Structure formats: structure tokens, C-alpha cells
A and B are shown apart, each in its own frame.
Chain A
Amino acid sequence: MKHPSLADLRMYLDHELPPEPHADVERHVANCRDCAEQIETLAARSQRVQRRLSHLDPDAAQTSRPARQQLKRLKMKEMVPVKKTFALPRAAWVALTVVVVLAVAMAFQPVRALAGNLLGLFRVQQVTTLAVDTSYLNSLHQTAGEAISKLFKDSVNETRAWQEPKYTEDAAQAGEWAGFAVRELLPPAEDTQYNVDFGSAFTFTVDVERANATLEAMGSVDLQLPADVDGAQVYVDVPASVSTYMPCDYSNEADRYKCLNFMQMPSPSITTDSPVDLPELAALGLQVMGLGEAQAVEMAATIDWQSTLVIPIPYGGVQAQTITVDGVSGQLLTREIEEMPEFALVWARDGMLYVLQGSGDPQYALSLVGGSK
């Protein structure tokens, strides 16, 4: 009697055999004790392993937010260059968003809005990083995330509709779509692709009640917004960006250093129709992110908040190093993942924000942009 192989028995057990072979095995097993026992052994082991693996399944508290919301998030993510390159932990972005919101709301003065007189609140001229301990935010993500989404849900209005990105191999065409002349930093090559993302613009209205609830949910019960900032209007504009992808063969390790992605965009801007006190707001925001009051006030005073993009870097995640790049001071961010080290060069110059990302050693990338550590 020819016994089925172990693989066949397993396929039989999982109903993965075509009908005829399945029937053959079934007939055989009915008359062969050894094979019947073998199947029992396979079944028992499979069940044990499945039971252990099911410990990893998410339970009710760990399911993800609805797919539609995630889709929206993905599209929003595309607009913020540093996030696209690094997928910073969401807690860090929560912190940054809160800083922006609170920065605007907290120092509002009850002055009459002057029609047509929008004061520039934030326009990037330089980039720096700030090490933060976001572990407490991670543990609160469920409550904080819900509170923050409530904060924004009804008050955000898109003023420029989402437009599908466009692709071209012609730099001039990309520049025409994006509204600025594309800077070519990567070596010219056949097959270079330019991806134009049209960004977005939106307004939001400050809702003090919800903002305070958000702060409470994040554990910052002492920090509350004054009532007179309720209803303040904030305008956020994320301009179009152009990403250049260098053609390369990622699967070939020797070639991988060439797999670079260069993103450029005019600085995002945040404006409002009333004057604001930025260091005061920033100090509040830094306290939300876990700094003590004295340290927050001191740090807030040393950064030019109106022109500096501060990238929050959670401990143990990304390493940040100040470097010279393209004739200005910028940041080299590196992520240590055992299999694939990655880096991103981030800098701002002449009102433009640049991000150059890749894998492995950043030496080649640095050489392209006049960079040195």
C-alpha cells in the first residue's frame, strides 16, 4: 500500500487537495492506522500552534480605526514631507499637531480682526529637531486620538480640494504643474520620474471646549485655553511638492545607495487673522509634550518659532544630527533598523523645504547636495 506523503496528508487535512486526490487519501486513511495517527498528530500540532498565534490577535480595544478614516489619513500623510519619508510614530505627530493648534489658540488677544490683514504666523526658514519622550502619549493614544479627532472633526474645512497626484518624466512639466521651477539635485538619468503632489489648504476654527477636553485626555489637566480664543480662524496651506525618484534596482544591494527620493516644496504656512505670542504658545506646547515648565519656557525662548520647523524625535527611534547641507544648516535623520538602515536629509533654503531620503550610507546623497557631517 502506497502511503500519502506528509505534505499530502497535510493538504488533505486543510482541504487543499483537488476532489479526486482528496477522495483517494480519504479512502487510504480509513484503512491505514499509521496514516490516521499521522493525521491526528498533524491536526493536534496545527491546533496548538494556531492557539498560540491567536494570542497575537487584536482584541476589541486594539482594532484599528475605520478604513475610510485611514484612507483619508494616508492622503493627508502624503502632504507632509517628513512624515512621508519616515512615518514618525503617530504620537509624535499628535504632539506636533497639538503644538500647532495650541500655539495659535493660546496667545490670541481679543483684538478686532482687521479685514484682509493676515499675519504670517509660520513659514519655514530653518529646520531643527527636539528629542521628546512620547511614551506616555503612546499609552494614551486611544483616548488622546479620539479626543483630537473630535477636536478637528467639525471644524476643519478644505479650502483647496484634494487633487490626484500627477506623474511625468519631464522636469519642466512637473514645474508647471507645481507652480515653481524644479531644482535638479540628483544626477540626470533616463527614466527619472517626477511626482507632483498638489498639497492642500484648509481652515480650522478653534473650539476651546474640545481643546480643553483634548488636553485633559492627554493628561495635561493644568493647561487650559482661555475662553476668548474660541472661534479663532486658522488657515493652513501645504503647497504642491515635487518628488524625484531616481531609477535604480533596490533588490541589488550594490546598487541600493542610488535609490534616492528627493522632495521639494515651498514652505507650508500657517496664518491667522490676529496677532499671537509664539514663545508663550510654544512653552505650552512643549509642556504638553512632557517638558517641565521651567525647561519649556527656556527652550521656547531660544527657538525662532515663526520660522523654524521643529521635528519631534521620540527617544530610541530616530537619530538626528545637525549638518551643513546645500550651504545651510540642516538635519540628518537616521533610523536604525537591523535589516535596512534608512536616512533623510532635511533642510530649508530660500523659502523652500527639501527632503532627500534613501537607504544605507548617506555618503553618496551628501555628496550630491554639498553636505558634510
Chain B
Amino acid sequence: MSFFTRSNRRDRLSESDFNPIFLEYWDRIYRVAYRLTGDPTEAEDLALETFTRLWQQPPAAAENLGGWLYRVACNLGYNALRASRRREQYESQAGSDARDDGHEATPERESETRMERRKVRRVLRQMNERQAQILILRHAGLSYREIAAALELNPASIGNLLVRAEQQFEKLYEGEES
């Protein structure tokens, strides 16, 4: 990320430029943020942070702002994913404390879904960041060209990278089974 690089003068985004981009991309960026954080509040804050950076420090190249937004959201989201490990430890400790206190357990089905989500996030966290981002963006429905633009990669390499990312995901996922 090079938000603070100031070697080139940048044209700031005016409100009339910024607002339509915000309205067009908000939902998609929120969903990316949600998948990585798992929390609506955090996802909204993270998505807002993404757009705030666009407004305050837009990239030098005005084209492909969508790809830029995806990249920033992925970076912020992945950082949050890594940071959440500590929170998870705190939560599972709190959970076990709650059980000790005799609090009622949550409905079984709901806790199974939650466990599955945690597992998938754990797997993503263990993956190489680039691979995790490719999977997330592909799942978000981006084409190879869009993924390449967002992550600054050669479009011709996406196929290969995707195959490897999926292999890695499965390997780690199966490893979590035990």
C-alpha cells in the first residue's frame, strides 16, 4: 500500500466524482469486508475506512478505482482477520467462562454455522495473503481481469494462482478437521 506516496501530484476526487463511486461499490465492498471480519459493525467501519482513503488520498491513476477499492478492502480485511485471532481467543475464553457459569448454550444449528465460519476464516488466515485474497475476490464474482487489476497481477497468471489457492485451501481445511 502506498497511500502516502506523494511523488506525483494527484487530482483530488470531487464530491460529484466520489459519490457515484461510493454508491456503486458500497455493497460489494461491505460484503468483502464482512466475509473477512464476520461482524457487521466491523465490516461497515472497515468499508467506510476504505472509501475514506479513496476520498482523502486517491490513487495517482484515476482509472480502475473499483479494483483499487477491492484491493484496499482486502488488505484492511486481511489485517483484521489476522488481528481477530486474539479476539477469538478472548471470546472462546469468555465462552468457556460462560459455560462454567451455567449460562444457556446457543441453539445447536446456529453454533454449527458459527463454527464453520470460524473454521473457514482460520483457514484463510493461515493461507498466504495473496492466495486468500484471490479466493475472496473470485468468490465475490470478479472476473480474472478484475482480480488481476485489483491485485496488480498479470491476468494470464490468475488461472494458475486460482488452482493453487484452491488446492491450498482444501489442504488446510482438511487439516482443520482433526
Q: Footprint of B on A, CB under 8 Å?
A: 5-8, 10-11, 14, 16, 42, 45-46, 48-50, 52-58, 62-65, 67-68, 70-71, 73-74, 77-78, 84, 87, 89-91, 138, 141-142, 164, 167, 191, 193, 195, 245, 247-251, 256, 259, 316, 336-340
Contact of A247 among B6, B26, B30 (CB under 8 A): B6
**Would B120 and A87 count as touching, CB distance under 8 A?**
no
A-facing residues in B19-37 (Cβ within 8 Å): 19, 22-23, 26-27, 30-31, 34-36
Contact of B163 among A6, A55, A249 (CB under 8 A): A6
Listed A/B pairs (29) with beta-carbon separation below 8 Å? A7-B156, A7-B159, A11-B144, A11-B159, A14-B144, A49-B170, A52-B120, A53-B120, A53-B139, A57-B34, A58-B31, A58-B40, A62-B40, A63-B30, A64-B27, A67-B23, A67-B27, A71-B19, A74-B51, A77-B52, A90-B45, A141-B40, A141-B41, A249-B6, A249-B7, A250-B3, A250-B5, A316-B86, A339-B82
- Given A73-B48, A316-B87: A6 touches B139 (CB 8 Å cut-off): no
Interface residues of B, count at CB 8 A: 65
**Would A249 and B5 count as touching, CB distance under 8 A?**
yes
**Would B144 and A77 count as touching, CB distance under 8 A?**
no
Contact of B48 among A8, A10, A70 (CB under 8 A): A70
- Given A11-B159, A77-B48, A87-B49: A16 touches B6 (CB 8 Å cut-off): no
**Would B120 and A56 count as touching, CB distance under 8 A?**
yes
A167 to B79, CA, bound (A): 30
- Chain B contacts of A340 at CB under 8 A? 79
- Across the interface, name the chain B residue whose C-beta is closest to A6: B163
- Chain A contacts of B90 at CB under 8 A? 316
A-facing residues in B126-178 (Cβ within 8 Å): 135-136, 139, 143-144, 156-160, 162-163, 166-167, 169-170, 173
Q: Footprint of A on B, CB under 8 Å?
A: 1-7, 12, 14-15, 19, 22-23, 26-27, 30-31, 34-36, 38-49, 51-52, 55-56, 79-80, 82-83, 86-87, 90, 113, 116-117, 120-121, 135-136, 139, 143-144, 156-160, 162-163, 166-167, 169-170, 173
- Chain A contacts of B47 at CB under 8 A? 64, 70
**Would B31 and A57 count as touching, CB distance under 8 A?**
yes
Report the minimal beta-carbon distance from B166 to chain A, rounded to whole angstroms. Answer: 5
- Across the interface, name the chain B residue whose C-beta is closest to A337: B83
**Would B48 and A16 count as touching, CB distance under 8 A?**
no
- Chain B contacts of A248 at CB under 8 A? 4-6
A248 to B4, CA, bound (A): 6
**Would A195 and B23 count as touching, CB distance under 8 A?**
no
A339 to B80, CA, bound (A): 10
**Would B120 and A55 count as touching, CB distance under 8 A?**
yes
- Across the interface, name the chain A residue whose C-beta is closest to B145: A16
A-B pairs, 8 with minimum CB distance: A250-B4, A67-B26, A7-B159, A56-B35, A251-B2, A7-B160, A247-B6, A10-B159
**Would A90 and B79 count as touching, CB distance under 8 A?**
no
- Chain B contacts of A62 at CB under 8 A? 34, 40
A68 to B19, CA, bound (A): 9
- Given A57-B31, A67-B22: A16 touches B159 (CB 8 Å cut-off): yes
